[in-house]
Amino acid sequence: MAGSDIATWINAISQLIFLIIFLGLFLGANQKLQIYVWTKDIRAKLALLDDLRKNAKKKTLDYMAKNRAKEAASLLDRVVNFFVIPPVDIEPTDIIRRLDHLFNLRTRRFRDDFQRHMPEADEVARSKAETAAEITAALDFIYKYVRHLLLTGEKTKNWILIMQLQLVMPQIVEIAQTYSKALDDFLSGAPIGDAAGPIVAVRLAGYDTEWRKVNEDTVVAESELEGRRLVIVKAKGPESNVGRPGYATELVVEELVRSGSKPSLMITVDAALKLEGEETGTVADGVGAAIGDPGPEKIRFERIAAKHKIPLRAVIVKMGMDEAILTMNKKIGDALEAAVERVKNIILRESKPGDTVVVIGVGNSIGVGQMIAGGA
């Protein structure tokens, strides 16, 4: 009899537990528990993002203080919160000109601010501080945007938004950590992966070649390859600088055309993001302008090539996003010789002795210096 009572109680308790679980599932308790777990994970990673942005801000301020910057904290706060409102794109007429104007205005604004606040520093130190401030701004934006999505999801009880955010958090953290590492590399002044184009340009020109300024941030040199005249363009180094390669090339080509030496070929050389599974340092060539630009510089290559009917070729060195903004690794360094040879082969194959060929090394010239004619 006692055994029968125990069995009855066990059965009743089991049914009660099943009923509670069923009611919990029906009322969404499992979903609320899952949201709680997701939110805890997001908040843990958000705290990491907060540490990364604060650490970047401290390193940037320390570097600026080391170079006797005035009111460094005030300047950095302005840079971090600076914004550019995109031009109207519903009516696309002259959108490139308007975009170019806004980007140039932003660049001049930053440069003037850093010159005013760091009068005792040289161009290289100021360019490093400017890049460090932009990296700090990027990390600050990543943190604020992730926090915005999390708080919006919690406020509206939008579990789909929270789920999606939790799923992409590992990639967001990876990107933020890459930016954090890149800050140290930029401040060290070593060439980064994105300097592949400028290094190829210097190797084609020769290390002892003198360069002249085309505009404030871009330089040009001349060399020769088996009877071909090479006109080589790159951003001015060794400061952290991408220059204005499209604008400079436009000026150079028009100058050559006026002098009766219209180029028979244009070649852009740049770093390019590889697909997962592709080998770092793979060199490839194609047609078009190889440049990671929102539009103003790239379209200048295309317009000047189309205007004078000049073939526009491209050579790329493939790498990951992290490899592009971190100190150049051995695989990329070893690939540069292959890129130089690829450019030479294209020139020899697609031009003839006596022709003029324009080669543009696109990318950040940090750590990639050159001798400027006249020492300017």
Q: What is the DSSP string of 201-216?
A: HHHHH-TT-EEEEEET
**Position 146 pLDDT exceeds 60:** yes
This prediction's pTM: 0.87
Q: Output the CA torsion sign for 177, 183, 185, 188.
A: negative
For 199, the token pair is: 């290094």
End-to-end CA distance of the chain: 106
Q: How does pLDDT run across 116-140, given as a tens digit for each residue? A: 999 999 999 999 999 999 999 999 9
Q: Say if CB 233 and CB 214 are below 8 A apart.
A: yes
Give the phi and the psi of residue 287 in degrees, each rounded to 5.
-120, 155
Task: Among 176-180, 322-326, 370-374, name the one with the lowest average pLDDT.
Answer: 370-374
Q: How confident is the model at residue 21 (pLDDT cuts 50, 70, 90)?
A: low
- Mind listing the domains of the chain with CATH numbers? 29-188 (no CATH), 193-375 (3.40.50)
Residue 366 has a pLDDT of 95
**Position 14 pLDDT exceeds 90:** no
**Position 19 pLDDT exceeds 80:** no
Residue 3 has a pLDDT of 54
Q: How does pLDDT run across 25-74, given as a tens digit for each residue? A: 565 555 677 788 889 999 999 999 999 999 999 999 999 999 999 999 99
Q: How does pLDDT run across 94-106, given as a tens digit for each residue? A: 888 999 999 999 9
Q: How confident is the model at residue 24 (pLDDT cuts 50, 70, 90)?
A: low
d(CA 283, CA 293): 20
Q: Which strands make up the sheet holding 371-372, listed edge to edge?
A: 283-287, 312-319, 265-273, 356-361, 228-235, 218-225, 210-215, 371-372
- The type of residue at 308 is H
Residue 152 has a pLDDT of 95
Going by C-alpha positions, the residue among 189, 177, 207 that lies closest to residue 126 is 189
d(CA 100, CA 85): 13
The number of CA neighbours under 13 Å toward the Cβ of 285 is 17
**Can you tell me the mean pLDDT for 293-309?**
94
Residue 30 has a pLDDT of 58
160: three-class secondary structure by DSSP = helix
Mean pLDDT over each residue of the chain, to the nearest integer: 91
- The residue among 371 and 203 whose pLDDT is bigger is 203
User: How many residues are listed for the chain in this entry?
Assistant: 376
Residue 373 has a pLDDT of 63
